[in-house]
């Protein structure tokens, strides 16, 4: 089972303890949950653990705010999920957090049921996309395999060994990759993957 890493960024040790117990209560391993007392320390820790979910205070009076933390991490981790806690949830702050994709926003001080309700709904929503989260939620059903991915009818066909031209250079197809309904290839003398729509087939 793959690890689902959480990062809780808040100056309160009591909140760290509560958040850890709450997340463990949903069936996640205790050693998947990491804590930091500031946005700066959270940023440093995130470089090592690559979190999937960040629960952060606003840190509005710090050199690095909670929103700056999220902006930096989302640039590195496009799939990052996150939520905000703040004593000062102004309309401007709430709007910016929503634009950055906050799964929920909680005004401090909040009650334990407030956090549990918000986190539970966030995990259920996230679990619809991420199987490692979804399987821990009540009523979860593993998605059925739907067969081979559907590709648009105008997608060119390629196979390993085909001769193609890319950026004016002749290459050989090493492998064919289908991801999210898109067909790409790996080439013999080019790093990374290339969309088949950028290739000329001999």
Q: How much of the chain, in percent, has pLDDT values that exceed 70?
A: 88
Tell which wins on pLDDT, 110 or 197. Answer: 110
Please state, in angstroms and rounded to a whole number, the distance separating the CA atoms of residues 140 and 167.
Answer: 47
- Residue range 88-113, pLDDT digits in tens: 888 888 899 999 999 999 999 999 99
124, 129, 132, 134 alpha-carbon torsion, rounded to 10°: 30
Higher pLDDT, residue 181 or 19? 19
- pLDDT at res. 38: 97
pTM: 0.69
Mean pLDDT value across residues 146-158:
57
Average pLDDT score over residue span 126-154: 69
pLDDT for res 1: 54
For residues 163 and 159, what is the distance between their CA atoms, to the nearest angstrom? 9
- The span from the CA of 42 to the CA of 197, in Å, is 41
Instruction: Give the mean model confidence (pLDDT) for residues 167-178.
Output: 80
Pairing of strands 81-86, 105-107: parallel
Residues 187, 13: Cα–Cα separation, whole Å: 51
| Digit-coded pLDDT (tens) for 65-76 | 999 999 999 999
The reported pLDDT for the residue numbered 202 is: 67
Highest mean pLDDT among 14-18, 144-148, 161-165, 198-202: 14-18
pLDDT of residue 146: 47
């Amino acid at each position: 089972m793959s690890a689902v890493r959480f990062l809780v960024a808040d100056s309160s040790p009591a909140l760290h303890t509560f958040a850890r117990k709450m997340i463990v209560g949903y069936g996640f391993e205790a050693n998947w949950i990491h804590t930091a007392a500031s946005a700066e320390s959270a940023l440093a820790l995130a470089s090592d653990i690559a979190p999937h979910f960040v629960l952060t205070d606003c840190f509005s009076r710090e050199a690095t705010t909670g929103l700056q933390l999220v902006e930096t991490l989302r640039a590195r981790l496009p799939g990052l999920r996150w939520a905000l806690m703040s004593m000062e949830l102004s309309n401007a702050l709430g709007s910016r957090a929503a634009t950055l994709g906050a799964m929920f926003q909680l005004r401090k001080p909040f009650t334990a049921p407030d956090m549990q309700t918000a986190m539970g709904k966030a995990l259920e929503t996230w679990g619809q996309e991420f199987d490692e989260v979804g399987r821990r939620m009540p009523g979860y059903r593993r998605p059925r395999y739907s067969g081979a991915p559907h590709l648009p009818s105008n997608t060119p066909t390629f196979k390993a060994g085909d001769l193609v031209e890319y950026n004016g250079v002749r290459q050989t197809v090493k492998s064919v990759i289908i991801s999210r309904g898109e067909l790409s290839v790996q080439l013999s003398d080019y790093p990374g993957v290339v969309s088949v729509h950028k290739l000329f087939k001999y």
